[in-house]
């Protein structure tokens, strides 16, 4: 990236710093992913279709994208207009994250092989994940667990230690152990605080691990999801020492956003599922929007070849 481009990004994204190397690296990684996805999508394509060009390089893919609008049949134009608005906005989200990484760490990139984003999954495989719980008894967490069980789905729940501790004080002694039966219970830290800056980040993870493991021995999984995706660049040795892995994501539902409804979240996820063709989907079980979005996604992905990956096999 040229220096002038970095200055332009600072102004456009309203940020004080741009890591040009990070932007270039992420751009190359995602372009390579899109090229692979094009090949998957075009495998069963008829050559007469507008989306079936024989593309073998990233440069050819970018050129085809630039020329796409001129070649679109009329039936695709309304879709293309709306899709372009979304993808321009989404590209801005990714560029901003990349521009700030690694000083402000996030899900945009990884520090080591212990960190997983969802791009390592097979084509059409997706994992459902939920952060920030558990909720109060009979709240959103319990309703989601019932929804997942009824649909034979197995998702990961990244629990906050202080919320779990509060929940345990309100529950009957025999209830907690069975709460996440058939699901995966993992760690989101003791408090929802950046683990890149918090002095007690190590004890936050260990204390949460011990509580989750003791409470849900059958459901426990050795995964830590950092709040905001933020963790230290040199934390790999700690995770390796304690046999833990870092669980990031590549499809953010944005159900945490007050301007996003449950249907909006579902539509966003579906668009990103089509774009990335694999991934880890981020929800929050303290919000009710997943109760709307998950059934919508299930209805719209039936008989499409989508596999909802069992969290216990991820």
- Between the alpha carbon of residue 203 and those of residues 162, 200, 211, 228, 267, the distances in Å are 13, 5, 12, 18, 38
Nearest to 275, CA basis, from 111, 81, 36? 36
**In the prediction, which pLDDT does 47 show?**
61
Q: What CATH number should be reported for the domain holding residue 135?
A: 3.20.20.370
Q: 138 and 60 in one domain?
A: no
Three-state DSSP at 187 gives strand
pTM, two decimals, is 0.95
Structure-block tokens of residue 55:
């593309």
Do the domain assignments include residue 150? yes
**In the prediction, which pLDDT does 45 show?**
79
pLDDT digits over 21-75, tens only? 999 999 999 999 999 999 998 887 766 677 788 899 999 998 988 888 888 888 8
Mean pLDDT of the chain: 93
Q: 285 and 222 in one domain?
A: yes
From 100, 132, 164, give the residue that closes a domain.
100
Do the domain assignments include residue 105? no
From 100, 135, 169, give the residue that closes a domain.
100
> What is the span of the domain harbouring residue 161?
115-313
Q: 164 and 34 in one domain?
A: no
* Number of separate domains in the chain: 2
From 72, 100, 128, give the residue that closes a domain.
100
Nearest to 245, CA basis, from 262, 255, 259, 231? 231
- Between the alpha carbon of residue 223 and those of residues 154, 188, 195, 245, 313, the distances in Å are 15, 9, 15, 5, 13
Do the domain assignments include residue 168? yes
Q: 127 and 60 in one domain?
A: no
Whether the link from the prior residue into 134 is cis, omega within 30° of 0, is: yes
Q: When comparing pLDDT for 281 and 62, which is higher?
A: 281
Do the domain assignments include residue 279? yes
pLDDT digits over 146-205, tens only? 999 999 999 999 999 999 999 998 876 656 778 999 999 999 999 999 999 999 999 999
Structure-block tokens of residue 87:
């993808």
Q: 136 and 83 in one domain?
A: no
């Amino acid at each position: 990236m040229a220096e002038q481009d970095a200055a332009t990004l600072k102004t456009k994204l309203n940020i004080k710093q741009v890591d040009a190397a990070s932007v270039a690296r992420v751009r190359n990684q995602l372009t390579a992913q899109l090229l692979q996805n094009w090949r998957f999508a075009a495998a069963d394509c008829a050559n007469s279709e507008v989306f079936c060009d024989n593309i073998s390089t990233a440069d050819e893919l970018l050129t085809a994208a630039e020329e796409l609008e001129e070649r679109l049949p009329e039936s695709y134009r309304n879709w293309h207009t709306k899709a372009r608005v979304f993808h321009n906005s989404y590209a801005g989200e990714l560029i901003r994250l990349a521009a700030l990484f690694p000083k402000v760490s996030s899900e945009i990139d990884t520090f080591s092989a212990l960190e997983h984003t969802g791009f390592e999954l097979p084509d059409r495989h997706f994992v459902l994940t939920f952060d920030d719980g558990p909720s109060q008894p009979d709240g959103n967490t319990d309703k989601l667990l019932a929804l997942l069980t009824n649909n034979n789905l197995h998702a990961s729940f990244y629990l906050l230690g202080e919320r779990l501790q509060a929940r345990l004080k309100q529950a009957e002694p025999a209830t907690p152990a069975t709460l996440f039966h058939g699901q995966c219970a993992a760690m989101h830290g003791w408090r929802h605080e950046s683990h890149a800056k918090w002095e007690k980040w190590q004890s936050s993870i260990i204390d949460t691990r011990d509580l989750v493991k003791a409470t849900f021995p059958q459901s426990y999984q050795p995964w830590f999801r950092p709040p905001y995706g933020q963790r230290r660049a040199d934390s790999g040795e700690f995770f390796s020492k304690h046999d833990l892995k870092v669980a990031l994501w590549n499809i953010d539902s944005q159900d945490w956003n007050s301007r996003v409804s449950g249907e909006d979240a579902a539509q966003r996820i579906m668009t990103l599922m089509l774009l990335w063709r694999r991934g880890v989907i981020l929800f929050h079980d303290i919000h009710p929007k997943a109760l709307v979005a998950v059934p919508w996604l299930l209805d719209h992905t039936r008989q499409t070849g989508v596999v909802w990956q069992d969290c216990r096999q991820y």
